[in-house]
């Protein structure tokens, strides 16, 4: 037979079983946490009509999209979960209750140039709350609580949820009569951390021809820092000059006001006036989340409030707020930085049962009884030497092995061996279940250094 060399396409993540277990744990935490906040799981097709996916059209999206014909159909793979959500809400509008809260953790596809750490197929883990015409600010205020519970759920404490409000930015630029140039200004200001205030000032005054006093006003504004209370007080100084600004400030106050009721510590939260989230799409609160010890990773969870989810498909105004986690990239970076907890069990089973008797019925019954107690059991039936069986157990990384021979059977017990300590104990099936449960490692997915 002619053989084809097996390979996986570059830019596509394919994990070994142990790593996959870690990844699944992160997905589980996301699913559970999103569920606790009343989001419904959603699962839209990966393939959509290309006309629909590209309704907005243009730019990078069009170049990166996987688009193809099948019969007469012009098809494409989704490049994010927001456009399919917009289609879903417009299509099923009459069957949904608003506010409509959904989460979706699914793969999306972008045919980008392959490079290290960039993926062509990757998971996004999104939540969105969609209102019918209106949406209360409480929904925006709740988002940091969700982000906080997700990342503490992962095992992290050294992260910061950064929040800003687009109305404050747009209002401020209007005050300075810079609204025409606000896009360019925001893009420049966004580079503050990278290039420093002097270079920002240079670009503003030279490249964008903004008068010096206005450039200074911009620099002064974006350098407002401190505790939430300090930033809000400084912003109060601008109140009364622009209606949009004042509305944005009210919203920001509403978002910060109940942080402690939401259980979000001040340490994990900051009002940050430099955050704009490029897209014109956002109209209110915007969010970014950074790992304090790994600023180079950039934002690991971003999003914001928007006014018009589905304008390409319906004339109903559908405002919303949402966040997205690029899970595949996050996992890749965490792994590369050595932040995935190596102590987490990576074996597909909690225990490997090695039957030592001709009659397999007792070993099978024991396996089924442990499974009924929630223990993940692999029954080993291969005809191998004892040493090979134990080395298989080692390679799998199972925390426990059960030996079941004539001696054990006569006593109605089994020998449970702890593969880390080497300790062996003789136990009944019920005791074995308790023993293995008690030995389960319950540490976090991510281990901060």
Residues 83-142 that bind its own copies (CB under 8 A): 86-88, 90-92, 95-102, 107, 109, 111, 120-121, 131, 134-139, 142
Residues 232-271 that bind its own copies (CB under 8 A): 258, 260-263
Cα 392 from Cα 401, distance rounded (Å)? 11
- Given a contact cutoff of 8 angstroms between Cβ atoms, the answer to whether 379 and 362 are in contact is no
- For position 20 contacting its own copies by CB under 8 A, the verdict is yes
Binding segment (CB under 8 A) for its own copies, from list 160-168, 172-180, 273-281, 354-362: 354-362
Residues 167-196 that bind its own copies (CB under 8 A): none
- For position 36 contacting its own copies by CB under 8 A, the verdict is yes
Q: Which is nearer to its own copies, 135 or 231 (by Cβ)?
A: 135
- Given a contact cutoff of 8 angstroms between Cβ atoms, the answer to whether 427 and 416 are in contact is yes
The minimum distance between CB 294 and its own copies, in angstroms, equals: 25
Binding segment (CB under 8 A) for its own copies, from list 157-165, 288-296, 361-369, 399-407: 361-369
Residues 379-438 that bind its own copies (CB under 8 A): 379, 381-383, 392, 395-396
- Distance of alpha carbon 113 from the chain centroid: 23
The minimum distance between CB 245 and its own copies, in angstroms, equals: 23
- Given a contact cutoff of 8 angstroms between Cβ atoms, the answer to whether 161 and 144 are in contact is yes
Beta strands 302-306 and 269-271, pairing class? unpaired
- Given a contact cutoff of 8 angstroms between Cβ atoms, the answer to whether 333 and 123 are in contact is no
Q: Which is nearer to its own copies, 107 or 294 (by Cβ)?
A: 107
Q: Which is nearer to its own copies, 340 or 377 (by Cβ)?
A: 377
Q: Going along 281-364, which residue ranges are E strands?
A: 282-291, 302-306, 320-326, 351-355
Q: Which is nearer to its own copies, 28 or 230 (by Cβ)?
A: 28
Q: Which is nearer to its own copies, 109 or 151 (by Cβ)?
A: 109
Structure tokens at 157: 């404490």
Binding-site size, its own copies (CB under 8 A): 106
Q: State residue 405 phi and psi, 5-degree precision.
A: -115, -175
- For position 378 contacting its own copies by CB under 8 A, the verdict is yes
Cα 1 from Cα 178, distance rounded (Å)? 70
Residues 282-341 that bind its own copies (CB under 8 A): 310-315
- For position 442 contacting its own copies by CB under 8 A, the verdict is no
Q: Which is nearer to its own copies, 217 or 364 (by Cβ)?
A: 364
- For position 342 contacting its own copies by CB under 8 A, the verdict is no
The minimum distance between CB 289 and its own copies, in angstroms, equals: 19
Name all contacts of 35-39 with Cβ < 8 Å and 24+ positions apart.
Answer: 35/103, 36/149, 37/101, 37/127, 37/142, 37/145, 37/146, 38/101, 39/101, 39/102, 39/103, 39/127
- For position 281 contacting its own copies by CB under 8 A, the verdict is no
Task: Give every CB contact of residue 246 below 8 A, 6+ residues apart in sequence.
Answer: 171, 239, 240
């Amino acid at each position: 037979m002619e053989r084809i060399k097996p390979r996986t396409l570059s830019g596509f993540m394919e994990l070994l079983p142990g790593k996959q277990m870690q990844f699944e744990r992160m997905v589980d935490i996301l699913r559970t946490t999103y569920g606790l906040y009343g989001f419904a799981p959603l699962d839209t097709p990966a393939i959509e009509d290309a006309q629909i996916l590209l309704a907005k059209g243009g730019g990078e999206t069009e170049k990166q999209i996987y688009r193809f014909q099948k019969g007469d159909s012009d098809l494409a793979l989704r490049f994010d979960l927001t456009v399919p959500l917009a289609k879903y809400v417009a299509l099923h509008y009459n069957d949904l209750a608003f506010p409509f809260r959904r989460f979706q953790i699914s793969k999306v596809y972008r045919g980008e140039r392959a490079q290290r750490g960039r993926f062509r197929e990757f998971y996004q883990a999104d939540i969105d709350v969609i209102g019918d015409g209106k949406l209360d600010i409480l929904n925006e205020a709740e988002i940091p609580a969700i982000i906080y519970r997700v990342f503490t759920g992962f095992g992290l404490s050294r992260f910061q949820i950064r929040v800003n409000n687009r109305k404050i930015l747009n209002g401020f630029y209007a005050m300075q009569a810079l609204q025409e140039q606000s896009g360019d200004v925001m893009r420049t200001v966004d580079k503050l951390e990278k290039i420093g205030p002097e270079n920002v000032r240079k670009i503003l005054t030279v490249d964008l021809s903004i008068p010096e006093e206005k450039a200074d006003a911009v620099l002064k504004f974006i350098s407002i820092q401190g505790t939430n209370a300090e930033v809000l007080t400084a912003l109060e100084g601008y109140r009364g000059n622009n209606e949009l600004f004042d509305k944005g400030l009210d919203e920001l106050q509403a978002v910060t006001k109940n942080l402690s009721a939401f259980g979000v510590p001040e340490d994990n939260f900051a009002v940050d006036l430099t955050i704009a989230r490029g897209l014109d799409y956002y109209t209110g609160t915007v969010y970014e989340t950074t790992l304090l010890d790994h600023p180079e990773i950039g934002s690991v969870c971003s999003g914001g409030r928007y006014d018009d989810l589905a304008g390409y498909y319906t004339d109903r105004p559908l405002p919303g707020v949402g966040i997205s986690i690029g899970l595949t990239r996050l996992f890749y970076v965490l792994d590369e930085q050595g932040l995935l907890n190596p102590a987490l069990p990576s074996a597909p089973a909690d225990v490997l049962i090695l039957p030592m008797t001709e009659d397999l019925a007792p070993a099978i019954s024991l396996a089924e009884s442990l499974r009924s107690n929630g223990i993940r059991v692999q029954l080993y039936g291969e005809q191998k030497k004892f040493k090979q069986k134990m080395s298989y157990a080692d390679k799998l990384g199972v925390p426990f092995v059960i030996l079941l021979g004539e001696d054990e059977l006569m006593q109605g017990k089994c020998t449970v061996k702890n593969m880390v300590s080497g300790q062996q104990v003789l136990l009944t099936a019920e005791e074995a279940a308790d023993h293995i449960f008690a030995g389960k490692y319950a540490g976090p997915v991510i281990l901060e250094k």
